[in-house]
Chains A and B, each alone.
Chain A
């Protein structure tokens, strides 16, 4: 297996992949047949849905399949739909929390697991397990843990002398609580990305810093941090995308409630499409959603280019 650092090097340099040899005709002549089957599959299950969604979004479409062209009516309706606009604001709030906290904790975890200590392998596996665990199953366990009277979390709080918390049963605390579940699931992914970055760090700067008598914090602040910043940016992009699309935990734990207090964009979309069967309207939501995701990703990738150190 190639060391992770090597794989990472190729990955970080993604934009440069287009550079130099071989010439373009080489692509279709020699390697076209390798890509064709995947291209057909991707066209069928990914590109076709994109185009079809775009088409549906300018139609009034109900579940029986009757549809008529309405131009941009669906989009106009979106702009004045309070419930939609609130779900967008809520999604951004959720995303801000669900990006910053896992990045901070993930950085701490990566610095910790980068060190050598007994049982590191086993403990790292335990730490990584939440991101592999089936979200629906885990959400079920959280639901039971959040129970106001019988839940184990309020019991643990009471041991520490803290009064019971409302968790997902209050509009004020439901988003932070769902963020906590998201943090539990996805901090390991951030940790793994940053661990890949730490594994590829050069040793020389640390040696000279040590000779110069630098403190641990100074070494982190002036050597480690600038060098792993590109990886932090990758993690930020991935966390942003995933937080915007959060669905599983909300569907199981709070179903968008109480009221609409945890109805994020993706859950709003689900309700419109598969509970209310407003197919055309839901398609317009998808298009707007898609634009938001692409815009934010491009913005973040642009920032990442600026922080590149090995360019």
Chain B
């Protein structure tokens, strides 16, 4: 972030400060690298290498057998599709209701409605599950994709509303006021003026909602049936109910988290902007 010259630029630039900087960076980044590389390594090694001591770091021979086994023994593609449906649906509905709400709250300065969002952010996701589970039993929604999609709105709607409030507040009100003078309706002011200007916010909100909805697994553990599980809860079930060896488990773990990691890498600028401004994550 190219902010104003801060703490750094005024400090001395000696070799010692450079060394300190790079040691800091090394120490900070290496835990992340260790875990991700170890996951990759486990997923590409043979079972013999995975259970060897001392551990084998670089896979040799390199094998894709773990991935093949994961695909053959589990219905990964079905779970992947379920995740796409649930997360995709929850993000789309979240945008449809959340973006206008963010605009309405920002423009009317209805701080009280923002408080509801904050409290929703504080509540553990699990606590929504008990009443929704009972309700879904009555409505016949347990074990359906629709039911899961509805519960994921608990995650996506607050994130999107919260992000959009911030972005709409930064769209100058005067632009819309000028349009209103020319006879534009409130809706036109929103759709034709404010929304295009706040489009980066829509991207940020959608990305964050996607990531945290994708990562959620407890809703699916409790509510999904055998055929409607999302990817994270399917992997959780592999761990608890089937005795699998390390290689295929690591391969499955990597496949689950790969989509969000790719999104993170592609959209890192938007994510940094969105999160350094509010700091939220799922319920």
Which residues of A come within 8 Å of B, CB atoms? 1-8, 10-11, 14-15, 17-22, 26-27, 30-35, 37-42, 44-50, 52-53, 56, 65, 105, 108-109, 111-112, 114-117, 121, 123-138, 140-145, 149-150, 152, 155, 184, 189, 192-193, 195-196, 198-203, 206-207, 209-210, 216, 219-220, 224, 234-235, 238, 241-242, 244-245, 247-248, 251-252, 266, 269-270, 273-274, 279, 282-283, 286, 289-290, 293-294, 297
A contact residues around B235 at 8 Å (CB): 136-137, 140
- Measured CB to CB, the closest approach of chain A to B47, in angstroms, equals 12
Q: Which of B58-66, B71-79, B97-105 contacts A (4 or more CB under 8 A)?
A: B97-105
B contact residues around A45 at 8 Å (CB): 128, 132, 150-151, 153-154, 157
Q: How many A-B residue pairs have CB under 8 A?
A: 350
Contact B126 A266 (CB under 8 A): yes
In the assembled complex, the Cα of A241 lies from the Cα of B169 at a distance in Å of 26
Interface of A is mostly: helix
Contact B127 A269 (CB under 8 A): yes
B contact residues around A138 at 8 Å (CB): 35, 39, 253, 257
| With A34-B190, A135-B215, A216-B11: A203-B130 Cβ-Cβ less than 8 Å | no
Q: Which of A11, A56, A132 contacts B260 (CB 8 A)?
A: A132
Contact B100 A34 (CB under 8 A): yes
Contact A31 B166 (CB under 8 A): no
Contact with A along B149-161 (1 / 0, CB 8 A): 0110110011001
Which residues of B come within 8 Å of A, CB atoms? 1, 3-12, 21-22, 24-25, 28-29, 31-33, 35-36, 38-39, 42, 51-55, 93, 96-98, 100-101, 103-105, 107-114, 116-117, 119-132, 134-135, 137, 150-151, 153-154, 157-158, 161, 166-167, 169-170, 186, 190, 200, 211, 214-215, 217-218, 222, 232-233, 235-236, 239, 246, 249-250, 252-254, 256-257, 260-261, 263-265, 268, 270-273, 275-281, 283
Contact B28 A42 (CB under 8 A): no
Contact B10 A210 (CB under 8 A): yes
B contact residues around A40 at 8 Å (CB): 97
Contact A114 B7 (CB under 8 A): yes
The residue of chain A having its C-beta at the shortest distance from the C-beta of B166 within the complex is A7
**Of B21, B33, B268, most A-chain CB atoms within 10 Å:** B268
The residue of chain B having its C-beta at the shortest distance from the C-beta of A234 within the complex is B279
| With A286-B130, A293-B123: A35-B53 Cβ-Cβ less than 8 Å | no
